[in-house]
Amino acid sequence: MNALSPMEFIVFISLGAALGGAYFALLRHAVRLHAAETGAGLFFPFLALRIVLAAGVFWFAARQGAAPLLLSLFGFLAARTAAQRWMRVD
């Protein structure tokens, strides 16, 4: 078992956070288009793009090992939490 260096640790958490940021930005854009009824037909292409993007990043991380996959997932979940707090309507 190879231990991750501190740099690899940061890289995989950042990779997951960047994926999460892109994923939720695309989701927000797709929902706005759908709600405005101007781009309702673009909802499914945005969905496919989000799925392919997430699958690709997590596949890459999984090929590096279990620890990079879990770190990427942690970064993604941190971005999810940030997106939820940012979009919270009181």
Q: CB-based contacts of 25: which residues, under 8 Å, 6+ apart?
A: none
State how far the Cα of 53 lies from the Cα of 15, in Å rounded to an integer. Answer: 12
State how far the Cα of 23 lies from the Cα of 31, in Å rounded to an integer. Answer: 12
Orientation of helix 43-64 relative to helix 6-36, angle to 10°: 170
Please give the average per-residue pLDDT across 55-82, as a whole number.
96
How many domains are there within the chain? Answer: 1
Q: Is residue 55 part of a domain?
A: yes
User: In whole angstroms, what separates CA 79 from the centre of its chain?
Assistant: 7
pLDDT-derived band at 41 (thresholds 50, 70, 90) equals confident
Q: Is residue 30 part of a domain?
A: yes
Q: Is residue 32 part of a domain?
A: yes
pTM of the model: 0.87
Domain containing 35 equals 16-79
Q: Which residue has the higher pLDDT, 71 or 30?
A: 71
